[in-house]
Each structure stands twice: as structure tokens, then as C-alpha cells.
Amino acid sequence: MTKQSRVPVVARMIALGLATDETTARELIDRRLVLVQGAVVDNPSRLVALGDSIVVTESER
């Protein structure tokens, strides 16, 4: 069995077009608007697998 490549969630968000830059990605994470595999991301250094589902939710108004 081979291990999947893991990358920082911030870098993956930028690669997927979910954020335009690192600052924006970190702000979305700080606002708790980013989900990986359905769980809220609270650490911008979190590593994610290339196949993980990453979703940016809208803020509650």
C-alpha cells in the first residue's frame, strides 16, 4: 500500500481556486468557513490528502 501525498490545506485551497492567495485562505480558516471531509479546519498548517474534499461554506448571517 502506498501513502497518499499530503499537502498543507492552504496550498491545496489555492491550487483548487478556493482562495486567491495564502492570506485569503488563512482568513477563511480563521473564520471557520473551511471544511475538509466534512470537518471544520481550525489549523492552516493542517495537511490534507490530494483526494480530500475541501469546501468553503458561506458565513452565517
**Is residue 34 in a domain?**
yes
How many domains is the chain built from?
1
* Res. 4 pLDDT band, cuts 50 70 90: confident
Determine contact, residues 10/25, Cβ cutoff 8 Å: yes
Residue 12 resides in a domain: yes
Confidence of residue 2 (pLDDT cuts 50, 70, 90): low
Residue-wise pLDDT tens digits, 25-55: 999 999 999 999 999 999 999 999 999 999 9
Q: Would you say residue 35 lies in a domain?
A: yes
Predicted pLDDT at 1: 44
Determine the structural domain holding residue 32 and report its residue range: 6-56
Q: What are phi and psi of 8, to 5 degrees?
A: -60, 140
Find the CATH number of the domain harbouring 29: 3.10.290.10
Q: What average pLDDT does the segment 53-59 reach?
A: 90
Let me know if residue 42 belongs to a domain. Answer: yes
